[in-house]
């Protein structure tokens, strides 16, 4: 993350409609793309200040349009609202003299997020809030949403990017990643054969990992989804798969000890029961393909991390040289576990979601 002093951050925050005082501003380091800070009024966290990475999100205006459009529908007694704090000059974000785009949101005090869980109540709550989110957005008009990252979850695009990275990668990297290359080719064959054309296009979150869900610290109820940057048109199986890969897998995304990577059936079933609370919006064709979402999404993130490893870590933030390879291998391990559980997932979905 780029480094900013407390003074610089306070100066940036001063461009927004917030009470004038000196805030304490601390970085949050979970995201891999944007720079995120938590703003405290000495001890109470009040706002999130964020720099949108415009190298990844080249259409910041479109992105902010999508977020604002969606906020109109994300109103419900079972869904906690987050408010975008406008800049003093109007609009949705502030562009600094260096060309960086900043935004401010209210922070939900008493909320928390989890990278992984072993708690079936959390898995249930995650399912409930994701289906609430998707069902609230059914009212949205697809035409109002901009494709800010075209073909974001398109496996053919990720395949092409991977193939070009292979061509330029250093030979020793190819040697280290030999097994991963074999697995990539095997799974690509299956996933590029999937026919998604008949699925309904919806406004999706497109990054529904567990740590993008806020929970109440006190009641452990899910409050809402955060990080709406990739909110755009998509298929529900994307949101489903991202949730499964982070809720049903009890290990973190870059876990090196693959013995810790488990497809936990209790968590899966609890998650589906949560989905079923608002689940009637799904069509038969969507339910039928959902198990493949749990294969597609860990694989897709795996191949993207792999590609970035081959390219020399130009996209994701990394804490050490081979972190993208570790992400890839861990995500591929879970992909295999989802492949082994396809029939099981179909049986649970048929029992609980129809």
227 binds Mg ion (CB under 5 A): yes
Q: Which does 301 bind (CB under 5 to 8 A by kind): Mg ion, ligand GN1, none?
A: ligand GN1
Residue 252 or residue 353: which is nearer to ligand GN1 going by CB?
252
**Cβ–Cβ < 8 Å for 296, 237:** yes
Q: Which does 62 bind (CB under 5 to 8 A by kind): Mg ion, ligand GN1, none?
A: none
Per CB under 5 A, the list member of 35, 207, 254, 255 interacting with Mg ion is 207
DSSP category for residue 279: G
Residue 158 or residue 337: which is nearer to Mg ion going by CB?
158
Interacting stretch for Mg ion, rule CB under 5 A, among 22-30, 64-72, 91-99, 219-227? 219-227
Residue 56 or residue 262: which is nearer to ligand GN1 going by CB?
56
**Cβ–Cβ < 8 Å for 339, 295:** yes
239 binds Mg ion (CB under 5 A): no
Contacts with ligand GN1, residue ranges (CB under 6 A): 31-33, 56, 207, 209, 227, 230, 253, 301
Q: Which does 50 bind (CB under 5 to 8 A by kind): Mg ion, ligand GN1, none?
A: none
CA angle 87–88–91, rounded 5-degree value = 50
Residue 69 or residue 230: which is nearer to ligand GN1 going by CB?
230
For residue 88, count CB atoms less than 10 angstroms from its CB and return exposed for 0-12, middle for 13-18, buried for 19 or more: exposed
Alpha-carbon separation of residue 203 from 70, 152, 156, 186, 320 (angstroms): 9, 13, 21, 31, 35
**Which residue's CB atom is positioned nearest to ligand GN1?**
33
Q: Specify the pairing of strand 94-95 against strand 101-106.
A: antiparallel
CB crowding 46-75: b at 16 or more within 10 Å, else e:
bbbbbbbbeeebeebebbbbbbebbeebbe
Q: Which does 253 bind (CB under 5 to 8 A by kind): ligand GN1, Mg ion, none?
A: ligand GN1
Alpha-carbon separation of residue 229 from 67, 158, 308 (angstroms): 7, 19, 20
Q: Which does 56 bind (CB under 5 to 8 A by kind): Mg ion, ligand GN1, none?
A: ligand GN1
Binding site for Mg ion (CB under 5 A): 207, 227
């Amino acid at each position: 993350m780029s480094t900013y002093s407390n003074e610089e951050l306070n100066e940036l925050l001063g461009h927004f409609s917030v009470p004038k005082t000196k805030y304490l501003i601390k970085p949050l380091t979970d995201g891999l793309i944007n720079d995120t800070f938590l703003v405290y009024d000495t001890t109470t966290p009040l706002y999130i200040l964020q720099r949108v990475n415009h190298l990844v999100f080249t259409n910041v205006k479109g992105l902010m349009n999508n977020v604002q459009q969606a906020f109109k529908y994300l109103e419900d007694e079972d869904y906690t609202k987050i408010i975008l704090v406008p800049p003093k000059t109007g609009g949705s974000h502030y562009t600094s003299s260096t060309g960086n785009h900043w935004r401010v949101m209210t922070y939900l005090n008493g909320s928390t997020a989890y990278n992984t869980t072993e708690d079936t109540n959390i898995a249930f709550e995650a399912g409930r809030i994701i289906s609430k989110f998707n069902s609230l957005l059914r009212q949205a008009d697809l035409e109002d949403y901009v494709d800010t990252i075209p073909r974001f979850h398109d496996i053919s695009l990720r395949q092409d990017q991977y193939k070009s990275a292979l061509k330029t990668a250093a030979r020793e990297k190819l040697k280290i990643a030999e097994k991963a290359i074999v697995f990539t080719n095997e799974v690509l064959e299956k996933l590029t054969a999937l026919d998604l054309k008949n699925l309904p296009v919806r406004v999706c979150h497109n990054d529904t990992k567990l740590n993008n869900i806020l929970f109440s610290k006190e009641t452990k109820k899910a409050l809402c989804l955060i990080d709406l940057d990739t909110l755009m048109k998509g298929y529900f199986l994307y949101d489903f798969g991202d949730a499964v890969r982070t809720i049903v897998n009890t290990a973190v995304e870059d876990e090196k000890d693959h013995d810790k990577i488990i497809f936990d059936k209790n968590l899966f079933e609890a998650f589906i029961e949560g989905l079923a609370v608002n689940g009637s919006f799904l069509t038969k064709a969507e339910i039928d393909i959902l198990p493949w979402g749990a294969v597609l999404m860990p694989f897709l993130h795996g191949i993207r991390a792999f590609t970035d490893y081959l390219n020399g870590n130009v996209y994701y933030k990394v804490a050490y040289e081979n972190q993208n390879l570790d992400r890839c291998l861990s995500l591929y391990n879970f992909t295999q576990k989802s492949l082994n559980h396809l029939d099981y997932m179909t049986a649970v979905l048929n029992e609980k979601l129809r």
